[in-house]
Chain A
Amino acid sequence: MSYKEKIAKRAAAEIQAGQIINLGIGIPTLIPKYLAGRKQVVVHSENGILGLGNPCRRGSEDRNLIDAGGTYVTIETGGAYFDSVLSFSLVRGGRLDLAVIGALQVSAAGDLANWIIPGKYAPGIGGGMELAQKARRLIITTTHTTRDGKPKILEHCDLPLTAKGCVDTIITELAVMDVVAEGLLLREIAAETELEIVVAQTGAKVILPPGDVPRF
């Protein structure tokens, strides 16, 4: 299993029956296959779908039915279509139980930076700022470090923020951490890593739970 699949599978375990969720681009798009058979989860897509189904099988694409990333998708029984105004009323109005999105940086206070690297990467804001700020719970799925090995989990983000204090849980290929009042509480570490590696690759103080750290 690739590290992305591992992160997606672990994130899927955080999703509860009865929740309305939104899955961002990248790793979160891998989550639905780990929700198979869990009919009590309803997926929202920013472009105006509640009850988003699986991606289409080749040959059955509908030119009028895509998700927010452009993938041809299906709709679940009982799903609904609506316009962009209503789609974000659902998000900002507090009806979204959970959003899972990616990150460039996350801070120990739960600040998130994921939309701009000044001078390098500025594709726009999209729906991310509203999801980050208004989803009732925000899970970040990300690699623990950047491609060149620098920590993405930091005391303070130095990139421009998406939202302050919005992150509840961080899931990487190495660890699961919760943002609590005192900082980052380590909840689990990956089966194939060591506690020292997780601590060394995290750019912020990690609060250890009492006893052995559970593995995932």
Chain B
Amino acid sequence: MIDKTCLLENIRKQFKDGMTVMVGGFGVPGTPFTLIDALLETGSTDLTLIKNEANEDHLGLSRLIEAGRAKKLVTSHLGLNATVISMMNRGEIEVEFYPQGILAEKIRAGGAGLCGILTDIGIDTILAQNKELITVNGQRVMVEPALRADVALIHAAAADPFGNLIYEKSARNFNPAMATAAETVIVETERLVEPGELAPDAIHTPGGFIDHVVVLDQLSDEYGILEHHVL
């Protein structure tokens, strides 16, 4: 089997100024904190970031944005990140919002080699302003272009050397779609398993989509429980 395992220090050369980066995760679950930290350490700037949210203040993707590395964020909701909302309001970062499932579908389309999707979500709202509208089967719909990235950063619970992946619980979220939608797809995995150890029927993302597999020696505190969300 092809071996795509790669040391973290060798991943850094994938990061360049001005690139577009998709980042998996919905809150802490599924966010590739170690790969985000690596991107932060390279000093790459002028980035366009695509993620469901920006993590919470001073965590994960937010650290990259707070360090001034991103010119643009394509996202769904920033309700738990007052810092990034303030930066947006001060004009320090351009933010493009999409309905959550439409963001997911734009990424899916990009990964599936499609040019875009047709949707009626938000058709009667300000969301339809400046959008291309067409009529399909007698219904007015919006054209939403597909989204792709130069690099996707993915977090998996388990991977084999080829990049067959399994995600865990609510950490799956945007990871499978993003793993299909970038020129270079980098996975960090909590566990590296032997080829054949993952049951073929249980694999969530087949390794054909993956370029590099980074094995996490240990999980930093960032992956842990957020005390303020504990009841």
Contacts and interface: CB of A to CB of B under 8 A. Distances in A.
Interface of A: 25, 45-49, 55-58, 61-68, 70-72, 75, 81-85, 87-89, 91-92, 122-130, 133-134, 160-164
Interface in B2-28: 26-28
Most interface-central of B120, B170, B171 (chain A CB within 10 A)? B170
A123 B78 contact: yes
B200 to A, nearest CB: 19
Contacts of A134: 121
Contacts of A66: 26-29, 170, 229
B176 A124 contact: no
A63 B29 contact: yes
27 contacts: A46-B101, A48-B26, A55-B231, A62-B169, A63-B28, A64-B30, A64-B157, A64-B168, A64-B169, A70-B80, A71-B231, A83-B172, A83-B204, A84-B26, A84-B103, A84-B173, A84-B177, A87-B104, A91-B101, A92-B101, A92-B121, A124-B78, A125-B100, A126-B79, A127-B99, A160-B126, A163-B122
Nearest to A59: B230
B174 A84 contact: yes
A133 B104 contact: no
A88 B172 CA distance: 14
Contacts of A63: 28-29, 223-225
Contacts of A48: 26, 170, 172-173
Contacts of A130: 99-102, 121
B231 A83 contact: no
A128 B30 CA distance: 22
A88 B53 CA distance: 16
SS class, residues of chain A in contact with chain B: loop
Contact of B101 (A57, A82, A84, A160): A84
Contact of A85 (B79, B124, B177): B177
Contacts of B88: 122
A75 B128 CA distance: 37
A81 B100 contact: no
Contacts of B175: 83
B170 A47 contact: yes
A85 B107 CA distance: 9
Interface string B113-134: 0000000111011110000000
